[in-house]
Structure 1
Amino acid sequence: MTDEASKSGVTDPAQGRAAPHIGAFVLETLTLGMYGEPRHTLREYVQNSFDAIRAAQRTRFLKDRGKVTISISSEAIKILDNGLGVPADQAWKTLTSVGASKKDRQRDAGFRGIGRLAGMAYCEKLIFRTTFPGETTLTEITFDCAKLLKAMSPDEGGDVELSRLLSTAIKLKASQDAAKSEDHFFEVTLSGLANTPAYLTSASDVRDYLSETVPVAFDPSFSKKEKIEAEFKAYFGEPLETIDVFVQADGPSVQILKPYGDSYEHSGGMMNLDAVEYYSGEDNRYWGWVGRLSGSATVTDWRTRGLRIRVRNIQVDGTEIFEKLFTQVKPSYGRISSFYVGEIHIDAEKVIPNARRDGFEETKFWIDIKSSLITNICRPLSTDVYEASRQGQIDVTKVVDDIGKLVERSTSLADNPKASYDQVVDLMNTAKRLRRRASSALKTIGDIDATLVDEGKPKEQSAVVLQDAAKSVESIESQARMLVGRFLDEDERLTALKSRLRQEILQELLDVVNAFVDPSTYQKIKRQLSKAV
């Protein structure tokens, strides 16, 4: 044995030389460095469950719906599925392999063999339990994550050889006759959560995240559900694949559904889903739906805002991919994606999601698909938003002009000692209407103004002009109230004012009564009330 071999203790039998040293830091790159958002861990496990469920359905071991249950407590997070499971004689090799997988990229959602270790950074022990159809053995494999994380710390320097480290940190337990032959499942347990981020153990945060990312069905109340599913099947030739996902924590389990509905929040209130349009690429490369909303404003619910890309009905990244595509139309157009809701499904055989699943490998297919998405979706949608903006600018100009005229009218009334009560009341009512119009216009143009700032055109912002004009309206209303006070100081006019108010109240009351009684009764009531007034 050479000196190098004796130092490392690991040899290449074929050459008699020391084998290349692979340190623990490699494992850090594949786990801690791979998933920036802790909840991506759950997406990886649900994705693996999805593949296992589809495998069970293909082999006819599962005739029912695929089901995944995520149980959350202060001590552990468990992800249990009714997928195919792993045979006992293959469990050790399958579950301890790093960066290796038997999955087929053309058929399965995951294929790199690193997702199963995603939870390592957030628990003390990572436990896999499984059984396979036709077997009665229950296999349990436990990763000592505390030990692995210590070896990956900078203080340790990564000197420990990775294969040796893993062999000392993983334990196998096979329990004979612990399962029924017809059983099949796979369960992941993240045990010991002392250092786990709060939003990974928050049931509401987890439910929101999963509703956005994993392959679940639309809410049955979503009016466009059936049409979208039918259009998907017509294009791809097969139905949209979904599984049932439940989250259980401190109470009954809650089923996760996609968060799309018939109305959406924006900064000024709610917008309705007016229509859904469908987009398809050539050669079955992609298909998608885009929801057009009743207002031209940014959707504020992060679970639904913006266009999303999905492969095998699993979301890739968030809204960032489409935001970047919109900037190819114009650098400042990234925010336009959030004026819409929708999903673009890409054929899994045409693209390869990268290891982090926040984008795709830059293959020729993906480059061509991006070009098509920019031309067929981003460009026309951008044009529509800016056409709405142009119309909004016209409306703003009209509102500002009307407010200017009202200011002149208010000044004239204030200087006129013969101004009448009717003129003052009309001034107040007009000011109120203009204030509402100004508020409505501000909701429309706020997002467009933000884009103008991005383009280096802050002086063109309509919101600034409109806000100044709206302040003038508030001043007019205050002045009108002061003018009303002029009448209250004069007995003669006060008497007339009281009489007018009584008549206005009487008429409003009679209008209400008229809707509920016959004409003869109405006239009797009117006469009696008139005498009283």
Structure 2
Amino acid sequence: MSEQEATKPDDSPQPPVPHIGAFVLETLTLGMYGEPRHTLREYVQNSFDGIRAAQRVRFLRGRGEVTVTIGADEIVIRDNGIGVSADQAWKTLTSIGASKKDRQRDAGFRGIGRLAGMAYCDKLIFRTSFPGEPTISKLTFDCDTLLKAMNPDEGGEVELSRLLARSIKMTTTEDASKSEDHFFEVTLKGLSKAPEVLTSPSEVRSYLAETVPVEFNPDWKRRTDIEEGYRTNFGSALETIDVFVVADGKTEQVFKPYGDSYEHANGTMELESIEYFSGGESRYWAWVGKMSESAAVTDWRTRGLRVRVRNIQVDGTEISERLFTKVKPSYGRFSTYYVGEIYINPESVIPNARRDGFEETSTWLDIQSELITTVCAPLASEAYTASQRGQLDVERVVNDIGDLVKRGNSLAESTRSSYDQVVELMNSARRLRRRAASALKIIDDLDATAVDEGHPNRQKSVLLKDAAKSVESVETQARMLVGRFLEEDDKLTALKARLREEILQEVLDVINAYVDPATYQKIKRQLTRTR
């Protein structure tokens, strides 16, 4: 074949251009973010990338800031990141499923997150400026038009690129005085379709504290050790930005919600210690907080071990719960007995499009295997052992209460019962009541463990609650016995003397702690003479 023949254009008929319908956009937006607040995570994540880009090229030397302002009919997310240049604004912000971001360096890289809020507003507005440019670019997406085209009754007949072209408008304004400004701003305008969880300031603050790359609370004393451990393992500081929520005239900065105490089903427990775990080749690093009691943390913002990449949470606690079940199917619940974070090296994994897990690469499979062996297995074993210990403690409390009831009945029936015996009975009942109350705080978790282990007959809640009621009966019985002593005239004088003696001794014990020995003896003699 000659060179001329080889380069001859192909005159054969070209196949028709494939039709891409509006339903594709639905899959990439409405179908991608099931939890409405995930849209805020996507926008803050984009802000995080923009801020880090500005810092890399020295346009931003201070802290990165993101402000989420919740108004009556709009939500505005604004950052001081690098923004988008005027000549790139249209192409960048209208590209769907395409992005210039680097997966190895940026948190987002698929180019689908910018339309995350489309389902909850009438218009989605992007405003931005770039360092050194006087131009502010504004693109407005008509969400009503886009959503109508995605209606199942429309059948997806509208071609996606044409739909977007007629649903987006761009305008620019010039302001030479603002040429040094740089920002990116997203506005969800017209919130009639937005659920309350997306417009409630408290719900938004809570969600952002849990998911986005903010700092630990400055007042939390453990934060310094965690940050230093992260730096030692990865060789760089934990990246954070300052996030503020503005609503009802009040501005509040968002911090991660960890602290020194945590709620469980029946009370509060303290953070007792923190343990650290390192993965091979620095593929992950984790801190795990252990509690003063063996019980599940009930605060959904902190319970369990949270997996994070670039300090942004991936999923909730589902990943770590699945890893705990790999140790043993019934051990999944033990992940909630701890708080903590597992930071995965971003060079080792690829978050999936929904950001509720990772692409199943061989490296991620290896990391999971290592986490199961080095983190989940020892923690689950420790929680299980504590649970078994709790079961034994409950059994001892129930048995001791049974003995107390027998002793109370014996004293009630005896004609030789003494005042001292009744007082000791009351003191024993008081101590057992406290032990029973403490055991009841964790009984739900102990019973759940018994069921998980296939031993439902070992549940102790009903038994312990009945035993606690028995303690109350014994205390009532003891008070009646004291009353019987008071009704006996020949013992009344001796009883009063005994009571005075006990009160005097308690007073002297208090005085002894605050005065010198000589003064104490003088007070004691004086009180003794006036008895």
Q: Shared topology, TM-score over 0.5? A: yes
**Within 1, Cα distance between the matches of 2:177 and 2:283?**
43
For residue 8 of structure 1, what is the aligned residue in structure 2?
A: none
* Corresponding residue to 1:385 among 368, 383, 386: 383
Q: Secondary structure at the match of 2:178?
A: coil
Partner of 1:344: 342
Match of 2:392 in 1: 394
| SS of the residue 2:364 aligns to | helix
Letter in 2 for 1:26: V
Count of aligned pairs between the two proteins: 521
- Superposed CA RMSD: 2.0
Aligned residue identity for 2:301: R
Q: Which amino acid aligns with 2:94?
A: T
The answer to whether residue 437 in structure 2 is matched with residue 439 in structure 1 is: yes
Determine the C-alpha separation between the residues in 1 that align with 2:199 and 2:75.
8
Instruction: Please say if residues 277 and 290 of structure 1, whose CA atoms lie closer than 8 Å, have aligned partners that are also in contact.
Output: yes
Distance 1:53 1:411 in 2: 74
Residue equivalent to 1:89: 87
Secondary structure of 1:155 counterpart:
helix
Residue 131 of structure 1 contacts residue 179 of structure 1 at CA under 8 Å; is this kept in 2?
no
Superposed counterparts of 1:31-430, under 5 Å: 31-177=29-175, 180-430=178-428
Q: Which whole-Å CA distance do the structure 2 matches of 1:178 and 1:28 have between them? A: 40
Quickly say closer, same or farther: Cα 1:179–1:159, change in 2 above 3 A. farther
What TM-score do you get using the length of structure 2 for normalisation?
A: 0.93
CA contact (8 A) 1:271 1:294 kept: yes
CA apart distance, 1:520: 4.9
- AA aligned opposite 1:175: T
Q: Report the more deviating stretch, 294-303 or 186-195.
A: 294-303
Counterparts of 1:345 and 1:226 in 2: how far apart (Å)? 16
Cα deviation code 1:283-333 (max 9, x no counterpart): 221111111222211112221111010001100001111011101111111
SS at the partner of 1:253? strand
Amino acid at match of 1:398: R
Helix, strand or coil: the match of 2:441?
helix
State the Cα deviation string for residues 321-351 of structure 1 (Å, max 9, x = none).
1011101111111111111111111111211
- Give 1:212 shift: 0.9
Partner Cα distance (1:164, 1:411) in 2: 88
Asked if the contact 1:138–1:178 (Cα under 8 Å) also holds between the matched residues in 2, the reply is: no
In structure 2, relative to structure 1, the CA distance for the partners of 1:373 and 1:27 (3 Å cut) is: same
User: Which amino acid counterpart does residue 172 of structure 2 have in structure 1?
Assistant: A
Measure the CA separation in 1 of the matches of 2:254 and 2:504.
56
Alpha carbons 2:390, 2:446 under 8 Å: kept: no
SS of the residue corresponding to residue 271 of structure 1 reads: strand
Distance 2:176 2:15 in 1: 45
Q: Distance in 1 between matches of 2:286 and 2:374?
A: 11
Shift of 1:523: 4.6
Shift of 1:479: 1.8
What CA distance in whole angstroms lies between the structure 1 residues aligned with 2:81 and 2:182?
A: 6
- How many Å separate the matches in 1 of 2:231 and 2:453? 41
Is the Cα–Cα contact under 8 Å of residues 261 and 268 in structure 2 kept in the other structure? yes
Shift of 1:178: 6.0
| Secondary structure at 1:379 match in 2 | helix
The partner residue of 1:512 within 501, 510, 513 is 510
1:219–1:14 distance in 2 versus 1, CA, 3 Å:
farther
Cα distance between partner residues in 2 of 1:373 and 1:336: 15
Cross-structure match for 1:492: 490
Shift of 1:53: 0.8
Does the 8 Å CA contact 1:138/1:179 hold for their aligned counterparts? no
Q: Which residue number corresponds to residue 450 of structure 2?
A: 452
Which region of structure 1 is more displaced relative to structure 2, 60-69 or 519-528? 519-528
Deviation at 1:21, TM superposition (A): 2.3
Q: Which moved more, 1:483-492 or 1:402-411?
A: 483-492
The CA deviation at 1:445 is: 4.5
Amino acid in structure 2 at the alignment position of 1:310: R
Question: What is the SS of the residue equivalent to 1:328?
Answer: helix
How big is each residue's C-alpha offset from its partner over 1:214-264, in whole Å with a ceiling of 9 and x where there is no partner? 111112222222222122112111111111111111234211111122222
The answer to whether structure 1 residue 483 and structure 2 residue 500 are counterparts is no
- SS of the aligned residue for 2:477 comes to helix
Deviation at 1:16, TM superposition (A): 5.2
**Farther off after superposition, 402-411 or 502-511:** 502-511
Name which of 18, 21, 26 aligns with 2:19. Answer: 21
Measured in 1, the distance between the counterparts of 2:527 and 2:234 equals: 72
Following superposition, the deviation at residue 373 of structure 1 comes to 0.7
Q: CA deviation at 1:457?
A: 1.6
Contact 1:332 1:454 in 2 (8 A): yes
Unaligned runs of 5+ residues in structure 1 are 1-12
Give aligned-pair identity as a percent: 69
Change (3 A) 1:233 1:515: closer
Q: 1:325 to 1:415 in 2, by over 3 A?
A: same
3-state DSSP class of the match of 1:71? Answer: strand
Alpha-carbon distance between aligned partners in 1 of 2:12 and 2:196, rounded to the nearest angstrom:
50
Equivalents in 2 of 1:27, 1:269: separation in Å? 47
Give, as a single letter, the amino acid of the residue that structure 2 aligns with 1:212. Answer: E
Distance 2:506 2:453 in 1: 53
Give, in whole Å, the separation in 1 of the partners of 2:248 and 2:380: 45
Q: Matches of 1:77 and 1:394 in 2, distance apart? A: 54
Local SS of the residue matching 2:137:
strand
Query: Unaligned stretches of 5+ in structure 2?
Result: 1-10
Alpha-carbon deviation of 1:490? 2.6
CA separation in 2, counterparts of 1:55 and 1:303? 29
Which stretch of the first structure deviates more once superposed, 223-232 or 317-326?
223-232
3-state SS, counterpart of residue 258 of structure 1: coil
Cα distance in 1 for residues equivalent to 2:476 and 2:223:
51
Report which stretch shifted further, 438-447 or 377-386: 438-447
Instruction: Specify the SS of the correspondent of 1:349.
Output: coil
**Partner Cα distance (2:90, 2:293) in 1:** 56
Residues 24 and 152 in structure 1, CA contact (< 8 A), matched pair in contact too: yes
**Counterpart AA for 2:393:** D
Contact 2:391 2:446 in 1 (8 A): no
Quick check: 139-148 or 463-472, which moved more?
463-472
Deviation track 1:386-442 (CA, whole Å, cap 9, x = no partner) reads 222232233233222222221221111111122122211211110110111122223
Taking the aligned partners of 1:313 and 1:163, their CA distance within structure 2 comes to: 35
Return the letter of the residue paired with 2:394.
Answer: V
